[in-house]
Amino acid sequence: MSLTRFIVPILAFLAALADSQLRLNVTAIGAANGVSTLECWEVDSPFHTSSDSATREPQSRSSAILPAAGRPFANYCRWVVLLKGFGQITLPHDNTTGAYITGGEFGVIFAADTSDVSCDGHISTNIGSTEFVSLMISTQDGTVPEHEILHTGPCVAEEMAGWRMG
């Protein structure tokens, strides 16, 4: 057996892996036709492997312990990272669509249903006895990141587990 027979496919795989980019799929609270929506997005800005731990300052950041239930709008376009808790996000005009959010790995969402694009906001409900503890990071100039809408409704676990190679 030739060693080349094994090495060539491995090298081809590694080259494809190095050329691909890591992308983030995230459940987003957006807006269309004046009402809030739940969508699964693939964010266009890929993640890059970096040996430099220095990062730029975000536009602004805050942390919060959120009440057990509420009907908020996003005050500004922002990333929300749920650190602790378990909850559900629903839409006032649609009782068939909801997103369950857990603290940790699957706790990242993007909120863009500001009052200038949505008339009804979204409903956040805490499930259980633990409050929501979250980190909120606004985007620079209130912009929505470039993205592709994969489908309406929240992302499912298979779409969010690990990183998507694009």
Model pLDDT for residues 75-133, shown as the tens digit of each residue: 889 998 888 888 899 999 988 889 999 888 788 999 999 999 999 889 888 888 877 78
Domains and CATH numbers, the chain: 23-44+58-154 (2.60.120)
| pLDDT (0 to 100) of residue 71 | 57
Q: What are residue 158's phi and psi, to 5 degrees?
A: -65, -30
Tens digits of residue pLDDT in 7-45: 555 545 444 444 456 678 899 999 999 999 999 999 887
| pLDDT (0 to 100) of residue 137 | 86
| pLDDT (0 to 100) of residue 157 | 83
| pLDDT (0 to 100) of residue 26 | 92
User: Distance between CA atoms of 13 and 103, rounded to whole angstroms?
Assistant: 34
Q: Are 135 and 61 in contact (CB under 8 A)?
A: yes
Cβ neighbours of residue 46 closer than 8 Å, sequence gap 6 or more: 21, 22, 23, 166
Q: Answer whether residue 142 shows pLDDT above 50.
A: yes
